[in-house]
Structure 1
Amino acid sequence: MAHLSKRMRHLQSQVQSLGTVDLPSAVKTLKQLEGTLPAAIRKCRFDQTVTISIRLGVDPRQADQIVRGSIVLPHGIGKSKRVLVFCQGDNVAIATAAGAEFVGGKELADKIKTGWTDFDVAIATPDMMGVVGPLGRVLGPRGLMPSPRAGTVTQDVAAAVKEYRAGKVEFRVDDGGNVHCVVGKLSFDETPLVENVEAFLKYIRALKPATSKGQYIRNVSVQATMSPGVTVAAV
């Protein structure tokens, strides 16, 4: 069993005493946890990322029960992503004007083959997949490979770039049936955080596989980078 620091033991005791709470209470608790630390324990010095974790009643081994997608949350996630676009012709100027940090074709592919991945999301137009396809071994394990399902293979590069720069997030159920997604920063006010979580939960419900049996959303918790999760009542 991993050794827990004094900080984490203290925060866990605060959370465990609450049990399961409604979403607004969970967010309020998360934002106030740092303030419960005694003076002897150093407080976190950076703006923590807030994530939601959901345990789903699906079997990820079945192809028709894989829950995945992407969403632009109502209030963003507090971070602008660095976007790379594989395109050519008129789309080069369009992608650049939309705010993409890196735009090009074979020259970018060659750079990536050397190990360069200094970007957060890769977008490609369909006519560039011949160049992008061989990069799967580099980009795939890092979750950066463009894909039609995620909306990163598209002819509308301007819309895609603007969405990802605004904080569009992607997610996919893991082998244990869990989905994790960034929903903002701890510095956000309570209402924007609650609305981001509600929007994500609504989207997850809409993605329920037809073959999923029994209870679909089984457990929900929200947590920050340096805090334990607060369990949210089933919604």
Structure 2
Amino acid sequence: MLNINNKIAKGGYVYSKNIRLAKSKIDKQKCYDVREACSIIKEISFAKFNETVDIAIKLGINPNHSNQVVRGIAAMPSGTGKTVKVAVICQEEKLDEFKTTGADIVGSLDIIEAIKSGNIDYDVYITTPAMMVAVSQVARILGPKGLMPNPKLGTVTNDVAAVVKKVKSGQVEFKVDKAGNIHAGIGKISFSIDEIEANINALVSAIIKSKPSEAKGTYLKGIYLSTTMGPSVRLEISNFTESGNERR
């Protein structure tokens, strides 16, 4: 926690000396190369914990149109630095088979009943197509939390072992918000520059591939990199493939 004595009031807001110093090292008029941006956020990090590296991407889409919703999953080649707890909901006859997948818990209707009781202790829920009718009973509970198994995200599958492995190895789910932005944590500040850069490229590439055909004009409008406590650094969009920014 920042020492209150180190804080300075300005314009109705409270800024810490550390944040002001960090901001002074960033040229707000400049768009930075990815590697340089990664180097900067590591240099100006001042928190006494392993901050999450966050990315914010402004898209040139209309999120009010259902055919322009951008959503998907990106595998992080460097991992995310987080331990992900996975629950598998399957048929009774599949319990023994799926207990070898590496999931934190494997169950059937018992997990569904636990969810109904308010016990939602896992980061990802995976189920099989055969169990979707039963799992739909808790859609109103899991849905608002972004935890409902979804075929489009790969969490409704018969290949449970492969999906558990992928989730455990590190992946990021992304979805555009009502303002046309995507926010995601893509690693930790303790990662090397190479590791952070690889994760940024993987996420942006996945978002580019998810561009709706109905979206017109510039797709990638702004990309910003930051840490949990730090200021943001704007990235040079031309660093990324031009195919994501083509005009139609």
Deviation at 1:153, TM superposition (A): 0.7
Cross-structure match for 1:50 = 53
Amino acid at match of 2:155: T
Match of 1:162 among 165, 183, 189: 165
- The number of residues matched between the two structures is 227
Cross-structure match for 1:13 = 24
Match of 1:189 among 189, 192, 204: 192
Cα shift readout 1:167-222 (whole Å, capped 9, x = no counterpart)? 12211000000011221111011011111111211121111111111111000011
C-alpha distance in structure 2 between counterparts of 1:4 and 1:137, whole Å? 40
The answer to whether structure 1 residue 234 and structure 2 residue 237 are counterparts is yes
Match of 2:156 among 124, 141, 153: 153
Deviation at 1:9, TM superposition (A): 2.9
Match of 2:44 among 20, 29, 33: 33
Stretch moving more, 63-72 or 82-91: 82-91
The equivalences for 1:135-146 within 5 A come to: 135-146=138-149
| DSSP-derived class of the 1:203 partner | helix
C-alpha distance in structure 2 between counterparts of 1:169 and 1:102, whole Å? 21
Percent of matched pairs sharing the same residue: 38
Amino acid at match of 1:222: L
Amino acid at match of 2:162: A
The answer to whether structure 1 residue 59 and structure 2 residue 62 are counterparts is yes
Deviation at 1:104, TM superposition (A): 0.7
C-alpha distance in structure 2 between counterparts of 1:206 and 1:71, whole Å? 10
Amino acid at match of 2:158: Q
Amino acid at match of 1:11: A
- 8 Å CA contact retained: 1:122, 1:152: yes
- The unaligned stretches of length 5 or more in structure 1 are 35-42
TM-score by length of 2: 0.86
- 8 Å CA contact retained: 2:73, 2:206: no
The equivalences for 1:86-101 within 5 A come to: 86-101=89-104
Cross-structure match for 2:121 = 118
Match of 1:130 among 105, 129, 133: 133
C-alpha distance in structure 1 between counterparts of 2:233 and 2:93, whole Å? 48
- 8 Å CA contact retained: 1:95, 1:161: no
Amino acid at match of 1:92: L
Match of 1:172 among 161, 171, 175: 175
Q: 1:146 to 1:131 in 2, by over 3 A?
A: same
| DSSP-derived class of the 2:82 partner | coil
- 8 Å CA contact retained: 2:54, 2:226: yes
Amino acid at match of 1:125: T
Cα shift readout 1:52-83 (whole Å, capped 9, x = no counterpart)? 11000000111111110012111111123100
**Pairwise CA RMSD of aligned residues?**
1.6
| DSSP-derived class of the 1:117 partner | coil
- 8 Å CA contact retained: 2:225, 2:234: yes
C-alpha distance in structure 1 between counterparts of 2:234 and 2:122, whole Å? 33
Cα shift readout 1:2-45 (whole Å, capped 9, x = no counterpart)? 533333333223224673211110000011103xxxxxxxx422
- 8 Å CA contact retained: 1:58, 1:216: yes
Q: 1:17 to 1:168 in 2, by over 3 A?
A: closer
